[in-house]
Amino acid sequence: MGSSSIIPIRLPLLRLVRVGSFFSSFLISLWPMLLLPQLARTASAAPAPAPAPAGDDGYQYHYNYGDALDKSLMFFEAQRSGKLSVDQRIKWRSDSGLRDGFLQGVDLLGGYYDAGDHVKFGLPMAYSTTMLAWGAVEFRKEITHLNQMGHTLRAIKWATDYFIKSHPQPDILWAQVGDGSSDHYCWERAEDMSTPRDAYKLDHEHPGSDLAGETAAALAAASLAFKPYNSSYSALLLVHAKQLFAFADRFRGQYDDSIQNAQQFYPSSGYSVSKPQTTPCGLALALVIVLLISYKWKPINDTKRIFVYSGWKDELLWAAVWLYRATGDEYYLKYVVDNGAAMGGTTWGVKEFSWDTKYAGVQILLSKVLMDNSYSPYTSILKQYQAKAQYFACACLQKNGGYNVDRTPGGLLYFHEWNNLQYVSAAAFLLTAYSAYLSAANANIACPDAQLQPQDLLNFAKSQADYVLGKNPKSMSYLVGYGTNYPTHIHHRGASIPSISLLRSAVGCVRGFDAWYSRPQGNPNVIYGALVGGPNKNDGFDDNRSSYEQTEPTLSGCAPLIGLFSKLQSVYGTPAVLTGSYHNQRPAPAGHSKSAEQEAPVEFFHSITNTWADGRGMAYYRHRVIIKNTSQKASIRDLKLLIQNLSGSLWGLSSTRDGERNTYELPQGQKVLKPGGEYSFVYIQGGPQAKITVVSYH
């Protein structure tokens, strides 16, 4: 968790001697024209960014994005609050938060826990729902082809059902359950929660246009996602979306002014702008600044920084765009046109999209509106939105005349020290959607440094997804449960403590820190699909629970992955395989046994079926591993596995006949795994789970 920021625009410090108001104003009015030659020289002298190493060896890296998508959806099941449904796939979770809203006399069961804690923060939950729904709407065919639309809609509905209950009246929205400060003092499972479950609401006396607007956007986007499958539920979502937008627009204000304990965790963006003097000179300077921003004149020979104050304005535009898309009602399109300048949509070129900053999403969606109807009466304003959408894309692809998003040496976009990958996943999704819009319109983007084709955007989005899945300097998957090398010390309370079905006694607030947070072993529960915060600016990563900036997963980080992975899987094949590696290894020669797990259609499902402690207090676990042949066409024969870090006994596998150490095979009579077939074995371990990799198979 943490705050985000819009990338500041730097402006040169202008020093003028006051020799008369009129003369000063006149000089200021000439300043942009006098400055243009210098701007051109500055831009041309800007150093080119270092190229990313991605793909330098000439080999293509295709991961199993369908598998990554499936695991990403499982993360949302791990974050569920309330009474769990019978289709729950994450078995180490149980019912929790069953009295949420009880003290306030309202039913607030359901929804999602935000990250590694147990607060239901409204703003990131609503944003995550919008992104899930956008993926379901934009890539419906791709998600359906992967047989994942059911899971996707269930993930959306778990949130939208909660939003409906949280909105009992047109001008009331229950915005948060739980207190971040008290929650963070405890390390306990959701099922054992002992912290206060206070609920906080927005109303006309306590406005929150940003949160109400984002919730309206989520419900409008979800109404589109459900429309082909459940038209009555879609219509209900739209009723709530319209009411919430009207409430947000009529009673304006930032939600964290009304709910102040959210400020430490999810503050709505409010960035101070240096106030000009109230003199003609100052007013003229303010006008120049506006002109500079509007035309993207961004000289860099200065020390002054101008920050955007977006607050709730971007969310109102965002909600209106989604309501226009869901209803076709021109009222909402006219709203974004009429308020484009006043609310920053046509004036701010940004390099970040997140739970806090929606401008880039608004600008890309309105670019689609323009490309779908270039004869719209609002063309001139829509083109201004489109220019800012292009600014975002150019900045991500390092083609923006020096005003680019930072990157790590390994090629990862780098926005923030705290949970950087949530911004990466959002940017990659936006580029993927924008690529689809450009392709449909047979259009491209003219950046300051290059012409970009739609495929360029998709290729870059793929490079970011591949980095997440393992194509990085550490050869580590930052999506938990994907591949064999992923973080095991996730900053997540539920994942770090055995399931309540195994450890039945309650884990108290302080005991959780002593017994589980501080233990050096890996987490006993694999939280599949959790996108951790990720590496630092130098591609370094500390797999440690206390390194929460790097090891804590969030809803907002995982939500954009659904649409992203579905599109990549549709383009790069089923099943996708990895050829080559980050360290320039070549594929095995033809005719050899296949090796490397990411080439094998094999998936491992780990679970803990029992736990106990010896007389010294050392904990032991009984692990069950299911081996699944994910191919629907071919059988697997002579599967050979390498099992590392095994400290206890193993049952169900045989040592290989060649006697190779730590290498096992399926027993006689089970040598063949048919398409879709499964086989399981168990082992005893004191500490983190063993590492299992595929050595070879036929």
Residues recognised as catalytic: 491
Number of DSSP helices (H) and strands (E) in the chain, helices first: 21, 19
Tokens 């993927």 belong to 432
N-to-C CA span, the chain: 45
> Minimal CA–CA distance to 423: which of 446, 445, 395?
395
Q: Can you tell me the distance from the alpha carbon of 241 to that of 326, in angstroms, rounded to the nearest whole number?
A: 10
User: Residue 539 — left, alpha, or beta (φ > 0 → left; ψ -120 to 50 → alpha)?
Assistant: left
Asked if residue 223 lies in contact with residue 198, where contact means CB atoms within 8 angstroms, the answer is: no
CA angle centred on 478, ends 619 and 481, rounded to 5°:
50
Angle CA(112)–CA(117)–CA(122) in degrees, nearest 5?
A: 40
d(CA 219, CA 213): 10
Cα torsion 208, 209, 215, 218 to 10°: value is -160
Quick one: DSSP state of residue 96? B
Three-state helix/strand/coil letters over 327-382:
HCCHHHHHHHHHCCCCCCCCCCCCCCCCCCCCHHHHHHHHHHHHHHCCCCCCHHHH
The string over 96-134, giving b where at least 16 C-beta atoms fall within 10 Å of a residue's C-beta and e elsewhere, is bbeebbeeeeeebbbbbbbbbbbbbbbbbbbbbbbbbbb
Write the CA distances from 357 to 5, 79, 272, 318, 437, integer angstroms.
Answer: 7, 23, 15, 10, 21
Q: Which residues have a Cβ under 8 Å from the Cβ of 579 and sit 6 or more positions away?
A: 59, 60, 61, 62, 587, 599
Indicate the angle between helix axes 209-226 and 231-250, nearest 10 degrees.
160
Q: Which of 612, 687, 601, 582 is nearest to 639 (CA)?
A: 601
The 8-class DSSP code of residue 191 comes to G
Longest dimension (CA), the chain: 97
Query: Rounded distance, CA 492 to CA 547, Å?
Result: 11
